[in-house]
Amino acid sequence: MAQFVLVPFQRLEAEVLQALLEDYATRDGTDYGERERTTEEKVDRLQCQLGTGELHILYDADSEQWDLVERTQAELLLNS
């Protein structure tokens, strides 16, 4: 069973957070909508969502991988 850890984005160094967000923003399947967005626009949007609490960074200690997860999904994963 996966063991998730909430990673407060504020505790990450700016360069690490930037690299994490860029990695996520350039994954396959992250383009939605009528207009394609630049990586910078995607990163800015992700940063805003982290700031408002809409998104959380979760780290899976078992697989040693991280992901950005919507707040409600993160709460479910952390409380299971």
pLDDT in tens, 62-74: 999 999 999 999 9
d(CA 80, CA 73): 11
Q: pLDDT at position 35, please?
A: 76
Whole-prediction pTM:
0.86
Enclosing domain of residue 21: 4-30+37-78
What is the dihedral sign for C-alpha 32, 35, 37, 41?
A: negative
Q: pLDDT at position 27, please?
A: 85
Is 30's pLDDT higher than 90?
A: no
Q: pLDDT at position 32, please?
A: 61
Is 31's pLDDT higher than 70?
A: no
CA atoms within 13 A on the CB side of 50: 23
Whichever domain contains 10, its CATH number is 1.10.10.610
Share above pLDDT 90 across residues of the chain, in percent, rounded to a whole number: 76
The total domain count for the chain is 1
